[in-house]
Amino acid sequence: MRASLARLQDVAIKESIYADYFTQYPNYALFDATAEELYGVENAARLRAIRERIDPEQVMGLVGGFLI
Q: How far apart are CA 54 and CA 50, in angstroms?
A: 6
The overall average pLDDT reported for the chain is: 92
- The pTM (predicted TM-score) of the whole model is 0.76
Q: How far apart are CA 14 and CA 31, in angstroms?
A: 27
pLDDT band at residue 42 under the 50/70/90 scheme:
very high
pLDDT above 90: residue 12: yes
Question: Rounded to the nearest 5°, which phi and psi values hold at 67?
Answer: -85, 140
Provide the 3-class DSSP secondary structure of residue 21. Answer: coil
pLDDT above 90: residue 36: yes
Provide the 3-class DSSP secondary structure of residue 3. Answer: helix
pLDDT band at residue 28 under the 50/70/90 scheme:
confident
